[in-house]
Amino acid sequence: MSSVSSEKGLFKQGELLEKTRLGLRPWLDGVDEIRTSFANLGFGIPSVMLSTVEALRIRGSGEKTYDNYLSEVLKEALFLPRGIWTVKARHSLPPPLRSPYLDFLEKIRDFNDAKDTASNVLDPNLELYVGLKGNATEKWRCHIAAIKQQKELELEKFRSDIDKSYFATSANKKIVDLILQAANDLGIECCLAENGKTARVVLRKSLSPEVSIYLEWSDMQALRKWGALQFVFVIQESGRKLWAPRDFRSWPFAFGLDGFIPGGDWYAWGNDHWDSVVLGVLAHLNFLDVCAV
């Protein structure tokens, strides 16, 4: 490729990236409403996680709840390479793109050493939450019990949808059919791209005339063996074929569900039985659906 064509490619990539960022800013401003819509569907695990985080200490003056912190991290991540947010990386942002709230948290945060800085946690309550997990305290065990209880409630709430997933002949086919059928029921654009023994499920929902949010999943074996949901959210330019690997695709960043809602990663935890795997799939698809409301 000539240097001229390379420069054009870089210009196009930068132009699409900027267009995507501008298209996403209004959407991120409404992420609280999206979380509320998701909770109203019956997905309550994020509330359990948020309640645990907020109960760990009394918030100081000027502090906001963890979900507010997560929103501010998202807004900064939008302007960082691949959306990878760290305490160090945020310093590369010009002041207009930095969150005043995160600046405030960093100012009051007492970094004792480089290891603390590397933790990439500015929210004091979240830091305590991470500590609970690492030390397996009694509070953490109570939290796990609350997560399990909430998951059981959701398994019963979505029982009819879960039961639909039992009628395929193989585990891989069940997973693929489940995702495609659930996506169709929700009106989410979807397709199955197959290449020999591999298969990729691709789903898309428009956020605005300029930007869509994709959910791509290609690791069937991981989900079947370990219950680890392999979905990542990829923000891309609208107006493209749903699956066109050779077509240029802007890829600003990719997040797991926990990048958008508190405790979203709990839907990929404890999936040692099929019902729980299905619940995790339904959580991801329903979140994708409410993203566009």
Q: What is the distance between the alpha carbons of residues 226 and 152, in angstroms, rounded to a whole number?
A: 19
Q: Mean pLDDT in the chain? A: 81
Contact (Cβ atoms closer than 8 angstroms) between residue 238 and residue 208? yes
User: Is a pLDDT exceeding 50 seen at residue 248?
Assistant: no
Q: What is the pLDDT of residue 244?
A: 67
Region 238-265 average pLDDT: 73
User: Is a pLDDT exceeding 50 seen at residue 1?
Assistant: no
Single out the residue of 282, 41, 289, 292 nearest to residue 188, CA to CA: 289
Q: What is the distance between the alpha carbons of residues 153 and 145, in angstroms, rounded to a whole number?
A: 13
What is the chain's percent helix, strand, coil content, to nearest 5?
A: 60, 10, 30
Give the model confidence (pLDDT) of 151-176 as tens digits: 999 999 999 888 877 766 666 677 78
Q: What is the pLDDT of residue 80?
A: 86
Region 255-269 average pLDDT: 88
Share of the chain above pLDDT 70, in %: 76
Single out the residue of 114, 224, 112, 240 nearest to residue 178, CA to CA: 224
Q: What is the pLDDT of residue 124?
A: 93
Say which amino acid occupies 226.
W
Give the model confidence (pLDDT) of 110-120 as tens digits: 655 444 545 68
Region 40-64 average pLDDT: 96
Single out the residue of 236, 186, 257 nearest to residue 31, CA to CA: 257
Sequence-ordered list of residues with C-beta below 8 angstroms from that of 96, at least 6 positions apart, any chain: none
Contact (Cβ atoms closer than 8 angstroms) between residue 25 and residue 14? no
